[in-house]
Chain A
Amino acid sequence: MGYEEMFPAMNKRWHDNATKRFASPFVDNPHDRIDVDPIILSAAAVACGYTIRDFYEKPELGIHCVGYISHLYDLLPVTHWFFSLPWVTELGLKLVYKETLPPISTGPIYSAPEDVDKMHVPSKEELVNAQAKYGQLATVPMFYRIYDYVTKNLPMTLVPISYGFDLVGAAAEMVGMENFIMWTFTEPEAADKLVDKYTQTSINGAEALADKYGSAMLIVGSILANNDIFNDEGVERYSVKNMYKYVDGCFKRGAGPQVFYHLCGNHETDYKLFRDGLMWSPFTVFHVGYKGRNPFPSSLLKQNFEDRATCMGSVDTKLMIDPNPNKVYNQAKEQLLGGRDSKKGYILGTSCETPPYTIPGQMLALVKAARDFGTYGTW
Chain B
Amino acid sequence: MVKITIPAEVKELIAKRGIKESDVNDVINTAAATKKYIKKGNDGLAKKVIGGLTVYVVSDLSGKGTAVVKTAYAHKMSLGKIVNVMSETDWKTPDGRPIAQGHVEMEYITVKRNGPALVDPATGDSWVEEYLAVKTLAVAEGLFEKKRA
**Once bound together, how far apart are the Cα atoms of A308 and B147, in whole Å?**
20
The answer to whether B132 touches A344 (Cβ under 8 A) is no
Which residues B79-125 have CB closer than 8 A to chain A? Answer: 83-84, 86, 103, 106, 108-111, 113-116
Chain B nearest Cβ from A254, distance in angstroms: 5
Q: Could you say which residues of chain A place their CB within 8 Å of the CB of B147?
A: 23, 26-27, 29
Chain A nearest Cβ from B137, distance in angstroms: 7
Chain B nearest Cβ from A9, distance in angstroms: 23
Does A252 lie at the interface of the complex (its beta carbon under 8 Å from any beta carbon of B)?
Answer: yes
Interface string of A287-329 (1 = CB under 8 A from B): 0000000000000000000011100000000000000000000
**Once bound together, how far apart are the Cα atoms of A275 and B84, in whole Å?**
9
Does B53 lie at the interface of the complex (its beta carbon under 8 Å from any beta carbon of A)?
Answer: no
Report whether over half of chain A's contact residues are helix, strand or loop; otherwise say mixed.
Answer: loop
**Once bound together, how far apart are the Cα atoms of A280 and B77, in whole Å?**
15
Chain A nearest Cβ from B136, distance in angstroms: 5
The answer to whether A257 touches B140 (Cβ under 8 A) is yes
The answer to whether A27 touches B111 (Cβ under 8 A) is yes
Chain A nearest Cβ from B144, distance in angstroms: 6
The answer to whether A251 touches B114 (Cβ under 8 A) is no
The answer to whether A283 touches B86 (Cβ under 8 A) is no
Q: In which size bucket is the chain B interface? A: 20 to 34
Contact of B111 among A28, A276, A279, A281 (CB under 8 A): A28
Which residues A243-282 have CB closer than 8 A to chain B? Answer: 248, 251-252, 254, 256-258, 275-276, 279-282
Scoring B108, B114, B116, B136 by chain A CB atoms within 10 A of each residue's CB, the highest score goes to B136
Contact of B144 among A251, A279, A280, A282 (CB under 8 A): A282
Q: Could you say which residues of chain A place their CB within 8 Å of the CB of B110?
A: 28
| Total A-B pairs, Cβ < 8 A | 73
**Once bound together, how far apart are the Cα atoms of A281 and B144, in whole Å?**
12
Does A239 lie at the interface of the complex (its beta carbon under 8 Å from any beta carbon of B)?
Answer: no
The answer to whether B114 touches A215 (Cβ under 8 A) is no
Does B139 lie at the interface of the complex (its beta carbon under 8 Å from any beta carbon of A)?
Answer: yes
Report whether over half of chain B's contact residues are helix, strand or loop; otherwise say mixed.
Answer: mixed
The answer to whether B103 touches A280 (Cβ under 8 A) is yes
Q: Could you say which residues of chain A place their CB within 8 Å of the CB of B148?
A: 23, 27, 29
Does A214 lie at the interface of the complex (its beta carbon under 8 Å from any beta carbon of B)?
Answer: yes
The answer to whether A251 touches B135 (Cβ under 8 A) is yes
Chain B nearest Cβ from A58, distance in angstroms: 31
**Once bound together, how far apart are the Cα atoms of A115 and B129, in whole Å?**
37
The answer to whether A280 touches B116 (Cβ under 8 A) is yes
The answer to whether B83 touches A281 (Cβ under 8 A) is no
Contact of A215 among B84, B103, B139 (CB under 8 A): B139
The answer to whether A308 touches B114 (Cβ under 8 A) is yes
Q: Could you say which residues of chain A place their CB within 8 Å of the CB of B84?
A: 275-276
**Once bound together, how far apart are the Cα atoms of A282 and B77, in whole Å?**
10
Q: Could you say which residues of chain B place their CB within 8 Å of the CB of A281?
A: 113-116, 136, 140
**Once bound together, how far apart are the Cα atoms of A192 and B144, in whole Å?**
37
Q: Could you say which residues of chain B place their CB within 8 Å of the CB of A215?
A: 139
The answer to whether A256 touches B144 (Cβ under 8 A) is no
The answer to whether A254 touches B116 (Cβ under 8 A) is no
The answer to whether A279 touches B116 (Cβ under 8 A) is yes
Given contacts A279-B116, A280-B114, A308-B114, contact A27 B109 (CB under 8 A): yes
| Closest CB pairs A-B (n = 8) | A282-B113, A23-B147, A257-B140, A280-B114, A257-B136, A215-B139, A282-B140, A27-B147
Residues of B within 8 A of A (CB): 77, 83-84, 86, 103, 106, 108-111, 113-116, 131-132, 135-137, 139-140, 143-144, 147-148
Task: Pull 20 A–B residue pairs with CB atoms less than 8 Å apart, ordered by A.
Answer: A27-B144, A27-B147, A28-B110, A28-B111, A248-B116, A251-B116, A252-B131, A256-B139, A258-B143, A279-B103, A280-B83, A280-B103, A280-B114, A280-B115, A281-B113, A282-B77, A282-B114, A282-B144, A283-B140, A283-B143
Residues of A within 8 A of B (CB): 23, 26-29, 214-215, 248, 251-252, 254, 256-258, 275-276, 279-284, 307-309, 344
